[in-house]
Chains A and B, each alone.
Chain A
Amino acid sequence: MIVDCHTHWGGAAKTRDGLNPAPWLKTLAAHGVTHAIVLPLDGLLDAGKIPQDNDDLSKVCGASGGKMVPFCTVNTWFGEEALPELERCLETLSFRGIKFHPWLQGQPVNSPVMDTVCERAAAHDVPILFHDGTPPFSLPSQIALLARRHPRTKIVLGHCGLFEHWREAIAAMRYAPNLWGCMCSPHPGAIKQIIKACDHDRLLWGTDYGYTFYDVYVYRLSMMRLLDMNDDLRDKVFSTNPARLLRLKVDA
């Protein structure tokens, strides 16, 4: 089992494939990737498209035989109005997590509505994955404070701080024990330090596949091979950690 914990679906894939997951999954399968956390795209770019995007994502992932694990989004600027959509996604559509891209969505990480979202996520035992590594709305430290306020909620740094804020991501993960890190996009030098300094039981791997049809797996998987991870760590990062986060069966 190899789980890509950071992909997107929408945009070009929706235009090309409709709600058929097969072509999208074909790329993953070619590289032995068995499962993916699938994050929205259109709903991140346009708040008016959120309900439709959540519906579509639910359908396409529902047709994937469990290989595509859907995460929904809402926009906290809509205040309490965002919460019914969140409940619809978690209760009716069976989403397995929540995604926020605070700078694309123009919403701060620390807000009363976000606090409510965290509590709902904890109640449903689903994680929240944030884009991170970018000021002013997506710093690891901002997300760490949110995580610390909500110790029952599993929160994921979607990029471990990218190129400039990876040291901050390390500090954030040490500060908040419920904060996980997806090693999607820092350079190899940073990833080595993250592995050295952070709890291995909270490290994940991802690719950001899905923004375009470009096959990023050659690059992303080859980069991970540069790191000389031992079998135990590789197993955790690619398999057992995401399985625990998402409540997947390891042999699925």
Chain B
Amino acid sequence: MRIIDAYCTPGTERDTVLAAADLLRSLQQAQVAAAVIAPQDREIAVDNVGGNERIRHLAETSAGRLIPACAANPWRGRDGCQIVRNALSHGAKMLVLAPALQGFCLGDEVTDPLLRLAAEHRLPVYVHTGPHSSSTPTQLILLAAEHPQTRFILGHCGSTDYSHDMPAVFRAAPANVSFELSLVRPWALPAYAQHVDESRLIFGSSAPRNDLRFELEQFDLSWPIERHPGTYGGNLEKLLAEVVA
């Protein structure tokens, strides 16, 4: 089986300082086959082009082990769509939205052009969710219902304080939503899995904010890798395989 980490941030700034070589070494040590890599915070917010190019370059020199995601701030309108098209043509497999960084609320129509574009290309849209009020799991469910053709990945499952919503979110989520597990407490996962089909769960580490190897080991204790190959790679691999450049 191939383990794939759904979200890492090789970067040079603040709490995401992580050289690509170090990430590759971590993957090898943890026996992780590949990782999706995303631009760092400043790049997600204001330097989409620079960030996407940096990530693309890292991916191109990784022998396929680093899978590039891209970012475009929805406030950039048509320019944002062009940025994503360009990233797609260079191999991007995921679009990252971070409402708290990019300054919009989930559900705001400002995201519509990007979400339509993502639907056309079957490009999964990873959305960071968490305690901030502009990006909650419930908001994403409403957005996903409005955009049934767009495939969403609900990042972090609302960790920590929207975790109370998650059973209801799992039950209400339309079929175009998958759930990424970085920042989720490992021991919470078996309870979560009672409310959602396993085919929609996706392991991610959020390295270097978290330690990839440590998170994987801890998740393995609560949700054994051998018994759940989909969670640890298969489910994400299917999503990424459908992307049309």
Contacts and interface: CB of A to CB of B under 8 A. Distances in A.
B117 interface: no
Contact of A226 (B132, B183, B211): B211
B204 interface: no
Interface in A200-220: 212, 214, 216, 218-219
A163 B183 contact: yes
A31 interface: no
A134 B131 CA distance: 6
A82 to B, nearest CB: 24
Interface string B210-224: 110010001001000
A133 interface: yes
Contacts of A134: 131, 161
A136 B132 CA distance: 9
B160 A163 contact: yes
B131 A163 contact: yes
Contacts of B171: none
A223 B214 contact: yes
B98 to A, nearest CB: 11
B214 A222 contact: yes
Given A133-B161, A187-B210, A188-B211, A163 B15 contact: no
Contact of A163 (B159, B186, B218, B221): B159
B160 to A, nearest CB: 6
A135 B133 contact: yes
A235 interface: no
Contacts of A103: 161
Contacts, number: 58
Nearest to A222: B214
Given A162-B161, A226-B214, A188 B209 contact: yes
Interface in B189-237: 206, 208-211, 214, 218, 221
B75 interface: no
A164 interface: yes
Contacts of B214: 188, 222-223, 226
Contacts of B15: 189-190, 192-193
Contacts of B186: 219
B160 A162 contact: yes
- Residue among A136, A162, A165, A212 having the largest count of chain B Cβ atoms under 10 Å: A162
A223 B185 CA distance: 12
Contacts of A192: 15
Interface of B: 15-16, 100, 130-133, 156, 159-161, 183, 185-187, 206, 208-211, 214, 218, 221
What are the 3 closest A-B residue pairs judged by CB atoms, nearest first?
A189-B209, A189-B15, A214-B187
Given A164-B130, A219-B187, 11 more contacts: A134-B161, A136-B133, A162-B160, A162-B161, A164-B131, A188-B211, A212-B187, A218-B218, A222-B214, A223-B214, A226-B214
29 contacts: A103-B161, A133-B131, A133-B161, A134-B131, A134-B161, A135-B131, A135-B132, A135-B133, A136-B133, A162-B160, A162-B161, A163-B130, A163-B131, A163-B156, A163-B183, A164-B100, A189-B15, A189-B16, A189-B209, A189-B210, A190-B209, A193-B15, A216-B185, A218-B218, A219-B186, A219-B218, A223-B214, A226-B211, A226-B214
